[in-house]
Amino acid sequence: MKGKSHVIKPLLDKEYPTVSHGRGVYLYDIEGKAYLDGCSGAVTTNIGHGVQSVIDAMNEQAKKVSFTYRSQFTSEAAEALATKLASWTPGDLDYVFFVNSGSEATETAMKIAIQYWQEQGRISKNKILSRWMSYHGITLGALSMSGHILRRKRFIPLLEEFPSIEPPYCYRCPFNSTYPSCDLLCANQLEQAIHRIGADNIAAFIAEPIIGASAGAVTPPPYYYQRIKEICERHDILFIADEVMTGNGRTGKPFGIDHWDVVPDLMALGKGMAAGYTPMAAAIASKRIIDVIAAGSQSIMSGHTFSANPQSAAVSLAVMQYIEDNQLIAKSEERGLQLLSGLQTLMQKHDIIGDVRGKGLLCGIEFVKNRTTKETFPLGLGVTERAIEKAKNNGLLIYNASGGIDGQAGDSVIVAPPFVISEEEINELLFILDQSIGELTLELEKEGQL
């Protein structure tokens, strides 16, 4: 390994800039270079950097107590945060199990789903169904649920074969069909999987309302989740919405699933929950589920040392308060429309953009070698990484969302700035993206790829 650093970074021999500080939607490195954060870190810093009310909440809480363990105490901060979350969530999703990362949140939701059936003596209902082209986390249980080929590959022998149906990927429909004449074949496939595996063996189906890390904001068609929920209900299967990326206002509504007006049985939250100020995540369960466990063994068999720590709870509460006080969910919707229309304009100009999509401030770009045939670039060409690198050199951060499905899905990136981004800053973001995609196109032309 090169150099003196003892930190294991994503690429061991790559040089990373050292951050100096962040203000609003900008990050600065110690050389003084500014980066417009076009992806909120990892779709996390929803309210930008340096918000005073969050810093104050952090300080105040730190003065009170350093840490408490959830088996010994609850805290005012955790109680208030759970109450606030329950006021944001749809239906009776009112009970919050705090954890520290998105992976822990999806695994906890999975365990609660399995326990719910066990409490009722239905112990064979323990499989979780999911989709290909999905991401639910990096720990083994969460990775098992994930249909992210690249991240699974190395660990396949250790994984359960969870993903069982195709994604709602209209741009490249897995069934070669078109909405609405397809009659939602992709959702109906869930019913076929249930028949094959047996409803008596299935605890839940998990899905990201809008597909994030493995495909770049792939947005299912209208009525998709209504159909999914209806199939789940008919077969006594719980529906888990993985809102780790889409939750907490990111898509212009409190939660991604709200775009389909569906109430899931369980939800997983993370990323934007404390907007990156501290690690914070949660599994949220409906009253129906908690009632069954309360009438049974009384305790959910999961938890982590840092679950519900008062520091993260106080910060997350302050973040939610800031979003409410500044109507930032409406801002996410409004700026999202500006961003998406700007990306559509870029698509007119750059032939390597095959598709742009998304909701609110969760937008995706898919790159193609040929827009007419939708031919993808070979994976080995690293088009996603090169697009990201060019943007970074030009002072813009964007997020890698390529799932590594050679030939079946194109190179994709996510553009998802903080909700506090201004109209002018979106224009700046689009300007740098235009320049960077132009440079990438020239390079690919020179290489004979276009």
Q: Which amino acid is at 384?
A: T
Contact call for residue 212 and ligand PMP (CB under 6 A): yes
By three-state DSSP, how is residue 192 classified? helix
Strand partners, 75: none
The minimum distance between CB 3 and ligand PMP, in angstroms, equals 26
- Binding ligand PMP (rule: CB under 6 A), the pick from 116, 135, 224, 306 is 135
Contact call for residue 416 and ligand PMP (CB under 6 A): no
* CB neighbour list of residue 290: distance below 8 Å, 6 or more residues apart: 94, 95
Dihedral of the CA atoms 340, 10, 102, 211 (nearest 10)? 30
Q: Compute the Cα dihedral for 212, 214, 215, 221 and give only its sign.
A: negative
What are 50-57's contacts with CB under 8 Å, separation 24+? 50/21, 50/22, 50/23, 50/24, 51/319, 51/322, 53/318, 53/321, 53/322, 54/275, 54/277, 54/315, 54/318, 54/319, 54/322, 56/318, 57/314, 57/315, 57/317, 57/318
Shorter beta-carbon distance to ligand PMP: residue 137 or 168: 137
Contact call for residue 388 and ligand PMP (CB under 6 A): no
Contact call for residue 137 and ligand PMP (CB under 6 A): yes
Phi/psi at 362 (nearest 5 deg)?
-125, 90
Shorter beta-carbon distance to ligand PMP: residue 315 or 347: 315
Shorter beta-carbon distance to ligand PMP: residue 137 or 163: 137
- Binding ligand PMP (rule: CB under 6 A), the pick from 242, 258, 355, 366 is 242
Shorter beta-carbon distance to ligand PMP: residue 75 or 103: 103
Contact call for residue 208 and ligand PMP (CB under 6 A): yes
Q: How far apart are CA 231 and CA 239, in angstroms?
A: 10
Q: How far apart are CA 255 and CA 102, in angstroms?
A: 15
Shorter beta-carbon distance to ligand PMP: residue 104 or 265: 104
Phi/psi at 284 (nearest 5 deg)?
-115, 130
The minimum distance between CB 42 and ligand PMP, in angstroms, equals 6
Contact call for residue 167 and ligand PMP (CB under 6 A): no
The minimum distance between CB 234 and ligand PMP, in angstroms, equals 26
Shorter beta-carbon distance to ligand PMP: residue 250 or 386: 250
- Of 126, 111, 140, residue with least CA distance to 300: 111
Q: How far is CA 127 from the centre of its chain?
A: 22
Q: How far is CA 382 from the centre of its chain?
A: 22
- Binding ligand PMP (rule: CB under 6 A), the pick from 77, 213, 347, 430 is 213
Contact call for residue 165 and ligand PMP (CB under 6 A): no
Shorter beta-carbon distance to ligand PMP: residue 135 or 205: 135
Contact call for residue 276 and ligand PMP (CB under 6 A): no
Contact call for residue 265 and ligand PMP (CB under 6 A): no
Tokens in use for 353?
């953009």
Of 98-106, 122-130, 184-192, 400-408, the window that binds ligand PMP (rule: CB under 6 A) is 98-106
The minimum distance between CB 247 and ligand PMP, in angstroms, equals 9
By three-state DSSP, how is residue 184 classified? coil
The minimum distance between CB 310 and ligand PMP, in angstroms, equals 20
Contact call for residue 127 and ligand PMP (CB under 6 A): no
Strand partners, 24: 49
Contact call for residue 118 and ligand PMP (CB under 6 A): no
The minimum distance between CB 268 and ligand PMP, in angstroms, equals 6
Tokens in use for 377?
């670039």
Contact call for residue 245 and ligand PMP (CB under 6 A): yes
- List contacts with ligand PMP (CB under 6 A): 101-103, 106, 135-138, 208, 212-213, 242, 244-245, 270
